[in-house]
A and B are shown apart, each in its own frame.
Chain A
Amino acid sequence: MRARLRLALREIAVGGRQLTALTLKEFRQLLRDRVLLSFIVYLFSANILLAGGSQTHDLSRAPIVVHDADHSAASRELIYRFRTPYFRFAGEVASAREGMARLERGDAMLFLEIPEHFDQVLQRGAEPASVQLLIDTSKATRGYLAASYSAQILAILNQEWVEARLGRIGGGSSGASQPTLEARPRIWFNPEVNEPWFYTISELLTMLTVACVLLPASAMVREKERGTIEQLLVSPLTPFQVIFPKVLAMVAVMLAGTALAFFGILQPVFHVPVRGSLGLFFAMTALYAFTNAGLGLLAATFARNAAQVGMLLLLITMPVVVLSGTWTPMESLPPLLRTIMLLSPLRHFVEIAYGILLRGAGLDTLWDSALAMALLGTGLLALGSWRFRRQFQ
């Protein structure tokens, strides 16, 4: 009995030593590829720095040209309202034709046309006074924002004019004669709509995904291409022992990369808040790296050389990166696609990462996403080991 126990213990010790040795081998291989290593460092530092500063989806100083056929106090008042931060007055044109030409050339985004007798119609109040606004919507989102900001300008102006008029008619008690209903938007979690918070986290997640899937997959395929896999197979190692060190090494590298990005860029430069537990965030990052490594290793069993595995992984990672909720909100996807995306580990990790960092959520609300991610990872790794073993029989 005791002899058997001792034997079992020794086997475990040997297995552990083998695992450590192979993991160290993976590290050494990675550290020796200087280009790859410096590239990984770039991904988690300068790349995120650039991404945080480069994108804004808000409308800022959109150029507007005006054709004012009325030249009255009211028309000037209306034009004056289209100003910074959203709009920028880009000049008056002599005719509607010229206004259209300015839009076509792309040096104006909006064209406001005010008809003759605009002021008179407004003063008489028998019918609404109309102006026309043309918007270049070749960029759909910005076009929509321009339309909605213009509508807000108009609503405010309308209210002011009504109050002034009713004040005149009603004799003094302005505002009180007409009920006012206001909407107070309050934005939670990011009240100032600070875009770098969103983009730096999204970039970090994207880089984690790309690197976590590509690195172990190509490390595995390289062993196949070079034939070193045969050496591992004739050694007294189980397929699990061949695969798992690659996963372990990857998780460690990704954690280091995340720490670099987080403490080097996200916090000091962009002041991204941590409203939940940082420990939980890193634990979840490790789980995510593990899940993705499973995906990469599974893909590697389908490919024979680096070029093939690269193409295959692109086919998988591109849709995952784009459709998992950082580029476009989940609810905008067609229902079928939304269901398919439940299989994407990133889709769950997006919920977790933003949940912990910006919303301050804990495991009590995020447990379902974490569970889904863990199940996906285990499943992928099991499938990968099974295919790996079958391949060499």
Chain B
Amino acid sequence: MNLRRVLALAAKEWREVLRDRIYFALTFLLPVILMLVLGYGMTHDVENVPLAVVDYDHSASSREYAQHFTGSRYFAYQGTMRDVREVERAMLDGRLRVAIIIPEQFHQRLTAGRPTEVQVLLDGTFTIAVRTIRGYVGAIHADAAGELATNALARKLGVPPDRARVVVQPLNIETRYLYNEEAKGVWTIAPLLVMFILTWTTPLLLGLGVVREKETGSIYNLYASTVTRAEFLVGKLIPTISMSFLNGMLLWCLAAWYFGAPFRGSFPVFALGTLLFVTASCGIGLVISLVTRTQQAALMLSVILGMLVASEYSGMSTPISELPPVNAAIAHVLPAMYYTAIVEGSFLKGAGLTELGGNLAVLAVQSALILCFGPLLLHKRTRT
């Protein structure tokens, strides 16, 4: 490996990128803009859920019960509806996700101490949200029912409500949230987005870099020159890795400062992890540049493969341990899940070298493999 030739190639690569202004701007603007948009959009906080009430009873108790729902910040109250038919129409149109149906004689039955049932209708189309919404409904209902029961019992026994509450709810649970103290979606998602965006921008940059030469024919210069395959590869890798690493740091700033996700771990570990991850991700880019001949195909492949890996084989949405065995095996081969552990550990959990060393080691091995076997994937003679 001749250092001067490598540097000359890297410098040429840089110049090519710098001269294409749109391409250059997008290389750095794209990740930042996506981070901002996705940071707002992907928080799985389920809020402002459209809710309606059908009150067949029209009593003081039914109004008190309904108020617990309509006043909640999780729901956006859409007003009362006349009957279930109206609810059905609104749900069919996607305007409504939850409806609370309070039956006739609600007040009478409750004061008489007879068991009463309230019906809750949920739109099940959007499965991610439906469980969370069911959780909200359960919690608010428990609150409302507890209060109604406490008041009824206090009236009946003639004791103060505090005393009655102990009778109704003898067991009390204090729940404390760890790491993400307010269960804020953006604290979870912003660090993960660093991983998500780097996972597919890195192969994209490398893939386009190699295939561009193939498509314009300038790769014939390489075929005819004394530059070795390894030198050519390193000359391509240096600019790609440095651009992606820079992007990673930029995204880190956004996650930590703009979105305010707490960074509790060690920065050197995180930076090293990012560098290794970016290098390992170039492997995917290399494979893509190998199988494609046009920039169009390289682009499609890297975006779609990258997004697939980033969203489904990284442990971002579903923990790897809960994936089906085949998917879990695929995830273990790819670098994304190790970097996810590093990102999550360094941000929320405050993990350092001792906890994350294993993940760093795997990424290092993957990077070394790319550097050793990468040149073998390139060919100095076109296959006919």
Contacts and interface: CB of A to CB of B under 8 A. Distances in A.
A130 B172 contact: yes
A174 interface: no
B97 to A, nearest CB: 8
Given A193-B131, A327-B41, A359-B92, A140 B171 contact: no
Given A145-B135, A148-B138, A315-B33, A194 B127 contact: yes
A186 interface: yes
Contacts of A188: 88, 91, 121-124
Contacts of A135: 175-178
A377 interface: no
B105 interface: no
A181 interface: yes
Contact of A47 (B43, B111, B112, B308): B308
A182 B170 CA distance: 19
Nearest to A132: B174
Interface string B189-217: 10000000000000010001000100100
Given A103-B178, A130-B174, A182-B118, A50 B312 contact: yes
Interface stretch (B225-233, B248-256, B270-278, B299-307): B299-307
A331 B50 contact: yes
B114 interface: yes
B153 interface: yes
Interface string A168-197: 000000011111111111111111011101
A167 to B, nearest CB: 13
Interface in A193-224: 193-195, 197-199, 207, 210-211, 214-215, 218-219, 221-222
A58 B318 CA distance: 9
Given A36-B300, A54-B327, A128-B171, A155 B142 contact: yes
A319 interface: yes
Which of A43, A147, A195 has most B Cβ within 10 Å? Answer: A147
Contact of A306 (B41, B127, B187, B215): B215
Contacts of A339: none
A88 to B, nearest CB: 11
A184 B119 contact: yes
Contact of B166 (A127, A191, A323): A127
B318 A55 contact: yes
A355 B115 contact: no
A57 B317 contact: yes
A179 B166 contact: no
Contacts of A221: 296
A108 to B, nearest CB: 11
B190 to A, nearest CB: 11
Interface residues of B, number: 121
B106 to A, nearest CB: 9
A15 interface: no
A144 interface: yes
Contact of A315 (B30, B117, B184): B30
B178 A334 contact: no
A54 B312 contact: yes
Interface stretch (A16-24, A156-164, A285-293, A382-390): A156-164
A241 to B, nearest CB: 23
B45 interface: yes
- Interface size class for chain A? 35 or more
B168 A141 contact: no
A31 interface: no
Nearest to A104: B349
A386 B229 CA distance: 46
B58 interface: no
A307 B348 contact: no
Contacts of B97: 329, 331
A318 interface: yes
Interface stretch (B234-242, B287-295, B372-380): B287-295
B186 to A, nearest CB: 9
A154 B110 CA distance: 22
Contact of A57 (B127, B145, B294): B127
B218 to A, nearest CB: 13
A344 B297 CA distance: 25
A140 B185 contact: yes
A344 B327 CA distance: 32
A354 interface: yes
Contacts of B308: 47, 50-51
A120 interface: no
Interface of B: 20, 22-23, 26-27, 29-30, 33-34, 37-38, 40-50, 65, 76, 88-89, 91-94, 97, 109-132, 134-139, 141-142, 144-145, 148-149, 152-153, 165-181, 183-185, 187-189, 204, 208, 212, 215, 291-297, 299-301, 303-304, 308, 312, 317-319, 322-324, 327, 344, 348-349, 355
5 contacts: A33-B297, A39-B304, A54-B324, A222-B294, A307-B295
Interface of A: 33, 35-36, 39, 43, 47, 50-51, 53-58, 60, 78, 103-106, 122, 125-141, 143-145, 147-152, 154-155, 157-158, 161-162, 165-166, 175-191, 193-195, 197-199, 207, 210-211, 214-215, 218-219, 221-222, 303-308, 310-312, 314-315, 318-319, 322-323, 325, 327-329, 331-334, 337, 351, 354-355, 358-361, 365-366
10 closest cross-chain pairs (CB), A and B: A148-B135, A190-B124, A306-B295, A311-B26, A218-B296, A310-B299, A187-B124, A128-B172, A323-B41, A181-B145
